[in-house]
Structure 1
Amino acid sequence: MISGRRQKMSTRQIISPGLVNRRKFLQLTAAGGGMLMLAACGGSGGASGHTEIIFWLPGGTQTYCNAHNTIEKDYQKLHPNIQMPPVLCGTGKQDYTEVLLAHIAAGNAPDATLYWDSPVSLGASGAAMDLTSMMANSQHAKIDKWPAGALASCQFNDKIYGLPITAGVFSMWYNAEWFERKGISVKREDFPKTWDALRALSKEFTTWKGDELQTIGFPVLHTPAQGSDRYNLPMWSALNGSQIYDAENKKYTIDSEANIAMMDYFLSWLNEEYRGDVNYLLRAKVIWDAYPDAQTGRAPAFQTQKQAMVLQGSWMVGDFYTWTGPSFEKWNVAPLPLGPGGTKQISGDWPNWAVIPRGAKHAAEAFQYLDYMSATGVRTWFNVLPDLPANADFSHSILPDGLVQKRGKAFAQEIMDFFYQQQQIVTPMWNSPVEGFASDQIGTAIARVMTKAAKPKQAMAEAQKACQDKLDSVLRKK
């Protein structure tokens, strides 16, 4: 069973909200028609005496969508005056963001939706409602109920445009069985605490057969599946004492000296461990990640014991077992190691955000539903797909059933406690009004550096200019 998280990683796109208007909506309707018009038929008026709340999902497996239908049904039992039709579970081949924005432009938005891209992008363009005042009067969704790092991904100009219902956190996953066979300590406290130590350990696992990589310890940038490094770079930057985006001053810092040094570091790592050519990694028979390659079907190197360590999220406690045939059982996780310029331990996250679109017909009632989902409804979600709930009112004693069955209750509790601790030290991410555009530019810069098409200073400067120019353009339109 592949989670909504995995689908998000494989389909993540941003359409700039500033580009969608009434004319664009008409173009989309003419071109795509079916889904847009079908969704438009839903309406939001309920039967007499009832309020109908329309709730959408960007997509996901049928199991994931069914879980949300169950949450709706449970909520309606508690609130007989509320009616909720089955969730819209994605928009097929049409880009979800584009469809959502078209409905907002047409004045026919859902009352609430989960969103897999930054709420700041919606809020900065006026496409999402400010939730700040509603949060203040809520039962579960008050500001102090959320981890600061996760909530920062929803904030822009002192307003809050989303709720990070779940906020899975990143850490270093490692194959404890392989470590043991090599006589390497499997204790979390003994895992490398610096990039230099990680780099040294990685070489212990890297083997070749002629010009073909057989196994590796840890991959360099530009090699994991789906180009996920473009989203992870804020973590690497923070680990090296810098940042990619300064939200307070609305300035990108992509070409800071520390970030250029970071890219030089990974390039040096490529030269030392992987013979100076990223293509040795890219053309391997496996994909250097914990998920199969969506395009080629190549198996995940981590589960097949071709890769000893991987940067991945807490959602892997479920997804690790969904790929057919993991060849080992004992894995563990550790904090992210610090770069040469790093002084502060951090983590990163990838939330599932809930937003209320501009023009929602029943915003107050929709927010009450999101408040319920934050701490109570999310239990049903967690039972099906153990993404990490972010709200403080969710009990940390609730454990993923699958993980308990596989590794036992004591291990499951210890691992989840570690993840919740990491949730409290998340570095600010996902907080730019042009998040999607910037991710694309960063991905291009990483590719140009790691394929040696450009020097780090040049590639980072080009990305810096493109992102700052785009941001300034969006801010001028406000």
Structure 2
Amino acid sequence: MRTRWILALVMGLLLTACSSDDGGSDGRITLRFQSLAWQQESVDANKELVREWNAAHRDVKVEYVQGSWDSVHDQLLTSFEGGEAPDIIHDASDDLADFAYGGYLADLSELLPARLKSDIPQRSWETTTFGDGIYGVPFLQEPRVLIANADWLKESGVRIPTPDNPWTWEEFRSIAKELSGDGRYGVAWPLKEPVSATLNLSLSTGGQMFHRGADGRVTVRFDAADEVVPRTVHDEVNTDGSASSTTLGMGGSDTLPGFFGGKYAMVPLGFSYRQQIVQQAPKGFDWQVLPAPAGADGLAQGVSPQTLSVAEDSPYKKQAAEFIDFLLRPKNMVRLALGDWMLPTGTEALKDAALHTTKDDWATGTALAAHLRSAPAQSVRGYPEWKDKVATPAFQEYYSGAIGLDELRERLVEDGNLVLARYQR
């Protein structure tokens, strides 16, 4: 009797578990969608799209869950290990490598429709491809641009760069120096987190930093092409006096009061910072967007797009992929891009007239979309540790003038390769 009772109990539990995989008691499936949208326009756009999906799909409900960029990596790791990850995960491509290799994210290769696969360029898919699998859909991206005081530049008489005729890095340094003087600076570099900005901008000069050998192992090198951007920043701060040393420890938003107050002529920022500038700039302040300087590889620039992934443990991978496809239809992708003041990755969405206006310089940013590439560190295991423990302090000390170029190279390469080696055994 006892054996039969235990067997009946086990079978009952199994049946309960199986029925829960089919959804709730009413047969409906509920997908949890964790969004990292934080600007009100973006939150509103995401929530409105969730409402539209729910209105059209009675059997598959999506529950909006608010996440935070500040804590997403640790929060996701905890939820993965605890078996409580959301079904649909909003993140950035440079945060996916360890989750993908760790088996926490579903391979979307066979789950995504042909429409979505063909609409997003291969260069964008490369940001979410790890090994033979695709572990996220890249959907929003932003170039780093120069936000400039338009009146200051006009009065100086310097040549105004365009995407078709940008400044070189040498020209940029010269113009920053020309714009400086009397307690004012040609440029403010907000480099509280210097690594991604340095590596991504260095693609324009042919810099790569990470090199994968025939055996698949990744090593760090710091070649001549990698030196151009960091040396420009260092010399503007420590030699020319054209860049303020006080902004090196700031985030982008921290530089805006000084920018509005006429202390800096230009600030290198992500394209989405335009929203803050529109909201915060004093009345009558005239600003404009300029392309970042170009090097041997033109306007090439590394980006880490925002992504949508599906948890490997989700029992509803097919339905989650269908929701992602809905969310990223061209018109919807435009709505998300406008809400975040960023660029969509989709080629159809990029054609939308709303992204080609001169108002708020949308057209300048959209013209840069074809030059955006996968950030150098996208698929490098151990990159977060290399960045935090090796590269960030080394770049900060170099930019402040505390160490020279040779010591910077030594620390990035020798200390860096020791870190990466632990992840490639």
1:454 and 2:423 aligned: no
Alignment equivalent of 1:433, drawn from 364, 367, 381: 381
CA pair 383-271 structure 1, distance change in 2 beyond 3 A: closer
1:177 and 2:151 aligned: yes
Query: Quick one: distance in 1 between partners of 2:394 and 2:262?
Result: 30
1:325 and 2:267 aligned: no
CA pair 267-393 structure 1, distance change in 2 beyond 3 A: closer
Cα deviation for residue 187 of structure 1 reads 5.6
Query: Quick one: distance in 1 between partners of 2:281 and 2:366?
Result: 28
> Contact 2:169–2:232 at 8 Å: present in 1 too?
no
Equivalent in the alignment of 1:471: 420
Any idea what the Cα deviations from partners look like across 1:335-392, whole Å, max 9, x if unmatched?
5322xxx244312334211111221121111111111112243343234332211112
Query: Quick one: distance in 2 between partners of 1:460 and 1:56?
Result: 40
Any idea what the Cα deviations from partners look like across 1:193-225, whole Å, max 9, x if unmatched?
2111111111122124xxxxx321124xxx405
Cα deviation for residue 132 of structure 1 reads 1.5
1:434 counterpart letter in structure 2: G
Larger Rg: 2
Query: Quick one: distance in 2 between partners of 1:453 and 1:47?
Result: 64
1:436 counterpart letter in structure 2: P
Deviates more, 1:180-189 or 1:191-200: 180-189
Query: Quick one: distance in 2 between partners of 1:189 and 1:139?
Result: 32
CA pair 202-260 structure 1, distance change in 2 beyond 3 A: closer
Alignment equivalent of 1:224, drawn from 171, 176, 190: 190
Query: Quick one: distance in 1 between partners of 2:69 and 2:289?
Result: 36
CA pair 434-348 structure 1, distance change in 2 beyond 3 A: same
Equivalent in the alignment of 2:322: 368
Structure 2 unaligned residues grouped into runs of 5+: 1-20
Structure with the largest fraction of helix? 2
Cα deviation for residue 475 of structure 1 reads 3.2
CA pair 139-189 structure 1, distance change in 2 beyond 3 A: closer
Any idea what the Cα deviations from partners look like across 1:151-171, whole Å, max 9, x if unmatched?
222111132111111111223
Structure 1 unaligned residues grouped into runs of 5+: 1-42, 209-213, 401-408
> Contact 2:109–2:134 at 8 Å: present in 1 too?
yes
Alignment equivalent of 1:54, drawn from 7, 24, 32: 32
Equivalent in the alignment of 1:14: none
CA pair 228-302 structure 1, distance change in 2 beyond 3 A: farther
1:145 and 2:119 aligned: yes
Q: Which aligned pairs between 1:70-109 and structure 2 lie closer than 5 A?
A: 70-85=48-63, 87-90=64-67, 95-109=71-85
CA pair 244-47 structure 1, distance change in 2 beyond 3 A: farther
TM-score when scaled to structure 1?
Answer: 0.74
- Secondary structure of the corresponding residue to residue 80 of structure 1: coil
Alignment equivalent of 2:335, drawn from 380, 384, 409: 380
TM-score when scaled to structure 2?
Answer: 0.82
CA pair 473-357 structure 1, distance change in 2 beyond 3 A: farther
1:242 and 2:207 aligned: yes
1:281 and 2:238 aligned: no
Query: Quick one: distance in 1 between partners of 2:159 and 2:291?
Result: 12
Q: Which aligned pairs between 1:409-420 and structure 2 lie closer than 5 A?
A: 410-412=357-359, 415-420=361-366
Deviates more, 1:45-54 or 1:184-193: 184-193
Query: Quick one: distance in 1 between partners of 2:292 and 2:247?
Result: 30
Number of aligned residues: 399
- Secondary structure of the corresponding residue to residue 354 of structure 2: coil
Query: Quick one: distance in 1 between partners of 2:327 and 2:247?
Result: 43
| Percent of aligned positions that are identical | 16
Structure with the largest fraction of strand? 2
